Amino acid sequence: MKYINHKIIGLVMICVAIMACTDEYDCNLQVEKPEEVANSEYLASFDLLKSYINRSTDSPFKFTANMSSTDFLKKDIGYSIILNNFDGIDVGKSFSTVNLLKEDGSYDFGEMQLVADAAQEANVILYGGTLCSNQGQPATYYNKLIEPIIIPFTPEKGKTVICDFENDELGTVYGMTGGSQAVVEIDPDGKSGKVLHIGTDDDKAVYSHPKFNVKLPEGRKLGDYVNLTIDMRIVNNDGLWGAGMRVFINGQEFDIGTNAQGLGCNSNTWNRGAIIRFDSDKAPGFIMPESLKNLTEFELSVGSASGGAQYFLDNIVMNYEVAAKGVTRIDFEKDELGQSYPMTNGNQAIVENDPEGSGKVLHIGTAAQPSSFSYPKFNIKLQAGRTLGDYTGLSLDMFLIDGKGGWGSGMRVVINGEEFNCGQGPFGFGCEANKWGREKIYITFLKEGEASGGGKIAIPDSMRGLTEIELAVGSGSGEWHAYIDNINLHWKADDTIIEKTPEE
């Protein structure tokens, strides 16, 4: 036992000795607090915000903060801050008209009700912005409500049958642009009566097409027509592909941009009512040149441009679409010989007999004193129910005496004293010296903002509602000497526009 006690005493002495050798260490490490903790401690040093407001019990003052309805409904830390520090919240921008209006024109107040219920539950005053405001409005929706009603103009439509061959004798031969033949026969399918057979097994049409002499009905011209329709039946594959379908008018060739197959044809079956457009550069069609639009009689050819074509044609029809249109005309026939018209800048305009015998015309200037930038004036009352905005252009016939005024600086139109230059003289319209330029000069009327020149002028919006005007027209030249006749203002019906009233 004495031995064990000595051991214990020894161990204790060793531990004391070791501890006695340890240096003294005073730890004073400075650690920076996280920013979030520091901010929290800083805010915690303040009392609730409402406690800093001095107000009497009957004070109307309310301490509020702006918060979106979405954040308030989350009921997270922002919600807690509002409840503890503020009397109310303003969610005005959350419920602007543009945010509440649905696509069908009705309003969605669902979220507004949720916020109101949550605010009432939390005993928080709710502010929602102004009831009526010019801010946050759904402009697109409102603009649709006040858009005018547009009633599209419906053009007059009709058709002219060029050939259906029913009145022809069997065996009647039509001319071809080249070789082979075009003969009236019975439909090989026995369904549509008489048809035209182009080419044969032994004598196929080699880039040759049947010709038809066309005389349009009274009052119609080629420019009124929008398309040509044909029934076509390709024999076997003769002409199904080739170089494409062609249309000829008075020998002028037009490629419609596709072959017979692209037009809808197949071997030995009828393709009924295939359409070839006159107003499109996309297949199947072409753009009718202006030079052909006034034709009332012409030679028409249509068919497959192939080195070996054989096919049947039937029911060749041209379809027209014509807008209601007319003219307001000045032609001097009812004037007395010698009657004078005023000029915009001096000189003279006298009614005389046309030296070529067409009736009465207006003589501008003299050989000794041509007109210098001066034009005859006319007081015009426009067509009943029409305004200047309905008019699409002005035309006139002109006989340039010795070519005087043929070039100049462009034809002028003066409306109520305001002068417009179309940028193109009489020669530019196709007039010639000492010869009547009938239907040569046509000055197109554009809308304000559209590019004028090249035979066009832009009519200001302020003039489009006029029903009576003072009109002057002539060549912008320092020496214009001419006869003029048949001054026509052309109008065309357009869409009917009904403006909304303030009540609507």
Give yes or no for residue 126 having a pLDDT over 90.
no
In this predicted structure, the answer to whether residue 102 has a pLDDT above a threshold of 90 is no
Range(s) within the chain of domains with CATH label 2.60.120.260: 157-322, 327-492
Residue range 235-254: average pLDDT?
A: 97
73 Cβ contact list (under 8 Å, min separation 6): 111, 114, 115, 118
**In the prediction, which pLDDT does 252 show?**
97
Angle at 293 between CA 249 and CA 251, to 5 degrees: 15
pLDDT at 2: 46
HSE-CB at 266 with a 13 A cutoff on CA atoms is: 1
Decide yes or no: CATH 3.40.1190.20 for domain 157-322: no
Q: What is the pLDDT of residues 366-417, one digit of tens each?
A: 999 999 999 999 999 998 888 999 999 999 999 999 999 999 999 999 999 9
Q: Which residue has the tokens 């305009």?
A: 349
Query: Which residue type occupies 3?
Result: Y
Q: d(Cα 89, Cα 377) in Å, to the nearest integer?
A: 73
Span 418-461, pLDDT tens digits: 999 999 999 999 999 999 999 899 999 999 999 999 999 999 99
246 has pLDDT over 60: yes
Tokens for 432, please give them: 């010639």
Pairing of strands 182-186, 194-198: antiparallel
Quickly tell me which residue has 């009938």 as its tokens: 438
324, pLDDT greater than 70: yes
pLDDT tier at 1 (50, 70, 90 boundaries)? very low
In angstroms, rounded to a whole number, what is the distance separating the alpha carbons of residues 422 and 345? Answer: 19
Q: Give the per-residue pLDDT at 132.
A: 56
pLDDT > 90 in the chain, percent: 62
Q: Dump the DSSP string for 105-174.
A: S-B--HHHHHHHHHHHHTT-EEE---SS-SSS--HHHHHHHHPPEEE----EEEEEEEE--TTSPTT-EE
Nearest in space to 321 (alpha carbons), one of 133, 146, 490, 153: 153
Q: Note the helical H segments in 223-312.
A: none
Give the mean model confidence (pLDDT) for residues 288-311.
96
pTM as predicted: 0.49
Whole-angstrom Cα distance, residue 265 to residue 256?
15
Q: Given CATH 3.40.50.2300, say whether it is the number of domain 327-492.
A: no
Q: What is the pLDDT of residues 424-435, one digit of tens each?
A: 999 999 999 999
Which residue in the block uniquely carries the two structure tokens 């001319």?
175
CB contact at 8 A, 150 and 496: yes
Whether the CB-CB separation of 481 and 372 falls below 8 Å is answered with no
Sequence-distant (6+) residues with CB within 8 A of 330 are 378, 380, 486, 487, 488
Check residue 320 and give its pLDDT: 95
Supply the pLDDT for residue 7. Answer: 56
Q: Pick the range with the lowest mean pLDDT from 79-93, 122-136, 477-491.
A: 122-136
The C-alpha torsion from 448 through 453 and 454 to 456, rounded to 10°, is: 30
Where would I find the beta strands (DSSP E) of 422-481? 436-447, 456-459, 468-475
Mean pLDDT in residue range 55-74:
82
Residue 4, token pair as written in the block = 């064990």
pLDDT at 493 over 60: yes
DSSP 31: -
Radius of gyration of the chain (CA): 45
Distance of alpha carbon 369 from alpha carbon 359, whole angstroms:
24
Residues 350 and 370: their CA atoms lie apart, in Å, by: 13
